[in-house]
Amino acid sequence: METKNTPLFGKDNLLWMLIGIIAIVIGAFLMIGGKSADPNVFNEAEVYGFRRITLAPILIVVGLLIEVFAIMKKSK
């Protein structure tokens, strides 16, 4: 009895997974930072800016949705 070794994911799936991982990593990098030069001064604009509060989480969620799509997509 011969068994055929077929990969679990095709090239398209792996490409979409890579795109999703890149989106998640970019979102994580956009979220880091906010260190103040003076620890006694709180700069609200640095911590609660559009990039960290809105853009980064949206990119991470989009990356996760791309990952789900890549896993569920049927290979050719």
Of residues 69 and 6, the one with the higher pLDDT is: 69
pTM: 0.82
Burial class for 59, CB neighbours closer than 10 Å (0-12, 13-18, 19+) = buried
Query: Following DSSP, what letter does each residue of 12-53 receive, concatenated?
Result: HHHHHHHHHHHHHHHHHHHH-----SSTT---HHHHS-HIII
Give me the pLDDT at residue 48, please.
Answer: 85
Place of tokens 């969620």: 61
- What confidence tens digit (pLDDT) does each residue in 30-75 have? 998 767 777 788 878 777 889 999 999 999 999 999 999 999 988 7
- Element holding 66 (H helix, E strand): helix 56-72
- Element holding 70 (H helix, E strand): helix 56-72
Give me the pLDDT at residue 25, please.
Answer: 97
